[in-house]
């Protein structure tokens, strides 16, 4: 398993993620889905 806790992300002064927690089980297939230019990377 991989876990990420309390993630924050800013673009300049714009806070776009705050307090995000994610856990992904070993062997699972996971994807981030959203429009082009939507900040998935």
Is residue 40 very low, low, confident or very high in pLDDT (cuts 50, 70, 90)? Answer: confident
CA dist 23 → 12, 14, 37 (Å): 27, 25, 24
State the Cα–Cα distance between residues 28 and 7, nearest whole angstrom. 21
Pick 41 or 21 by higher pLDDT: 21
Residue 35: predicted pLDDT? 93
Residue 41: predicted pLDDT? 79
Written as one string, the DSSP assignment of 14-34 is EEEEEEEEEEE-TT-------
1-34 tens-digit pLDDT:
999 999 999 999 999 999 999 999 999 999 989 9
3-state secondary structure of 7: strand
């Amino acid at each position: 398993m991989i876990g990420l806790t309390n993630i924050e992300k800013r673009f300049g002064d714009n806070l776009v993620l705050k307090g995000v927690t994610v856990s992904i089980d070993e062997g699972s297939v996971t994807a981030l889905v959203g429009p082009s230019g939507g900040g998935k990377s």
